[in-house]
Amino acid sequence: MRYSLFTLSVCSLVMSGCGSSEVLPETAPVSGTATINGQPLKSGTVTFHPDGEGNPGFAEIKEDGTFEVTTYELKDGAVLGMHKVTVEVFDSNPDGPPPLPGSEQEESTVPKKYASPETTPLRFEVKPGSNTAPLPMES
């Protein structure tokens, strides 16, 4: 019996050390509204590209222009620190098949400068706690 308890104790200690040892950068909730010329976008995607370590955070824009960012887990927000923010919205033909990504038929409803981390003027600092990120754009 003592041997079984000892084995169980050792196995428990060994198992507690197993698993992912990866330490992920801290995130904080980020939500907001994406607008163009003062009007909410009705669809699209928002990406928060961190200046430092960590994965980009993504969000789908809802019909009212609002979004909630996800990086590692659903709606966990974005990595703390400064971010370049990109926004992409594509027109689609409701009567036909969607255009192929990158095709000439695919046309963004927001200026191209907002779609690239190299050219976007949108910057946002994610701080600990809840963050509200308004994303005003002009065409």
* Annotated domain spans of the chain: 25-137
**pLDDT tens per residue across span 4-63:** 433 344 344 333 344 456 799 999 999 999 999 999 999 999 999 999 999 999 999 999
Would you state the pLDDT for residue 28?
98
Residue 2 phi/psi, 5-degree rounding, is -60, -40
Q: Model confidence over 105-137: pLDDT tens digits?
A: 445 689 999 999 999 999 999 999 999 999 999
Of residues 35, 76, 41, the one with CA closest to residue 57: 76
Report pLDDT for 120. Answer: 98
CATH code for the structural domain at 25-137: 2.60.40.10
123 pairs with which residues across the strands?
A: 84
The per-residue pLDDT for 33 is 98
- What is the reported pTM? 0.75
